Amino acid sequence: MPRPRSWTTLYRRELEKYNRILHLTSSSADIGRLIEESLYIRDLIPEGAVVLDVGSGGGFPMIPIAAERPDIRAYLVERSSKKAAFLNHIKHLLGLENVEVINEDYRRIWLPGKVDVITARAVGHNEEIIRHLEKFLRDGGFFLIYGDMSHLEGKGYGVEVLEFPRVKISRIVPGKGEA
């Protein structure tokens, strides 16, 4: 059962308040659009999934998804201690008991188990992220990467590029296609 949409008002207010100090998004970013684009993947995540989000920054895409999907468990990985503190603040403010913030570089994280989905938005080095974090995926797990990653098709990955208004999101399945 989704939480009431009032979370968006609180989240937007806190992003606007702290963005000037922490640079959570670009100063010209449309926060409403970022929330909307985050929710594009909400229904692509299986019920009860465990999700790892890399480079969480201001919380996109997983804070909006966790607010709408209390059935999932989300690990938000952010190497900046100030941004991780912001994420923890938002977690508590919105009552997101299904979120855990990990203040660490993704190359040094430890998880208690495997995950179903790994997400990344505006992180860069997506191929490195995929190669390094693939070991954390359960069998049948996949990546949801904002951007067109079709060049990985046939290089040991199956890639489906999903087109939404103003953004492409790649669903990447390791072990598919020619190695």
Cis preceding linkage at 4, omega within 30: no
Phi first, then psi, for residue 104 (nearest 5°) are: -165, 155
Q: Which CATH architecture has domain 6-174?
A: 3-Layer(aba) Sandwich (3.40)
Please give the full DSSP string across the chain, using - where no structure is assigned: -PPPTHHHHHHHHHHHHHHHHH--S-TT--HHHHHHHHHTTGGGSPTT-EEEEES-TTTTTHHHHHHH-TTSEEEEE-S-HHHHHHHHHHHHHHT-TTEEEE-S-GGG---SS-EEEEEESS-S-HHHHHHHHGGGEEEEEEEEEES--GGGBTTTEEEEEEEETTEEEEEEEET-S--
pLDDT over threshold 50, residue 179: no
pTM above 0.85, yes or no: yes
How confident is the model over 14-37, as pLDDT tens digits? 999 999 889 888 778 889 999 999
The ranges assigned to domains in the chain are 6-174
Q: Is residue 159 a contact partner of residue 171, using CB atoms and an 8 Å limit?
A: yes
In angstroms, rounded to a whole number, what is the distance separating the alpha carbons of residues 101 and 27?
A: 24
Mean pLDDT is lowest, of 13-22, 73-82, 100-109, for 13-22
Please give the average per-residue pLDDT across 68-85, as a whole number.
Answer: 97
